[in-house]
Amino acid sequence: MKDASLVVDHRLAVNPATADAMPRLDREQLWRGLVLRMRCPDAFLPGLDECRIEQAAEGEIIRRLRFGNEEVLDRVIFHRAEAVEVEVLARPGGGRFRQRIAIEQDASGELWLHFRYEALSADHRLDDEMAPLIEAAYRQADRELIQRLRQFAAAGTLG
């Protein structure tokens, strides 16, 4: 039987030519921004009511996120200056969810973020008619993440 997981995999330019008015992000600022996104997700996720870091170890945190009456427990793994990975450990309704955001740099020195989502639950299935809308929402959220990181950089938050 074929796995019905919804997979979204795409790359976005960090400093596109169309973003001239905003400061260019360097690799270290980009990394600091991804760490900020994972440690303080309320600054990035509309609808998130609370984030508690339940455990912290070298290169890893376990968070409890509350969205209204629902709670999600997840693990974030930090691959220093390279990538962050999120795996949901427990969520209402079960299922599985993984996210990876990797920093990539091409031969010309341009920075990219490579996003990959893998999800399987009652509301995240490849064969669901809503799958294209969910994929579009992930892609939009990723564009907004880069925009938010650029705003933080402009304010001096990312160094």
CATH of the domain at 127: 3.30.530.20
- Band the pLDDT of 1: cuts 50, 70, 90: very low
Q: Say how many domains are in the chain.
A: 1
Confirm if 54 and 66 have CB atoms less than 8 A apart.
no
- The pLDDT, as a whole number, for residue 18 is 75
CA–CA gap between residue 129 and residue 53 (Å, rounded): 35
Domain carrying residue 41: 6-154
> Which stretch of 47-56, 99-108, 124-133 has the lowest confidence by average pLDDT?
124-133
SS3 32: helix
Q: Residue 49: which residues within 8 A CB-CB, separation 6 or more?
A: 66, 67, 68
Residue 113 reports pLDDT greater than 60: yes
Centre a 10 Å sphere on the Cβ of residue 102 and count the other Cβ atoms it contains.
Answer: 16
pTM of the complete model = 0.92
Does 159 reside within a domain? no
Residue 1 within a domain? no
Q: Which long-range contacts (CB under 8 A, 24 or more apart) does 16-22 make?
A: 19/150, 22/150, 22/151, 22/153, 22/154
On whether residue 130 sits in a domain, the answer given is: yes
57 lies in a domain? yes
CA neighbor of 67 nearest in space, from 36, 94, 101, 91: 91
Q: Is residue 96 part of a domain?
A: yes
CB neighbours (10 Å) of residue 73?
14
Note the helical H segments in the chain: 27-39, 131-154
pLDDT above 90 covers what percent of the chain?
Answer: 74
Confirm if 74 and 26 have CB atoms less than 8 A apart.
Answer: no
Which helix (H) or strand (E) segment is 25 a member of?
Answer: none
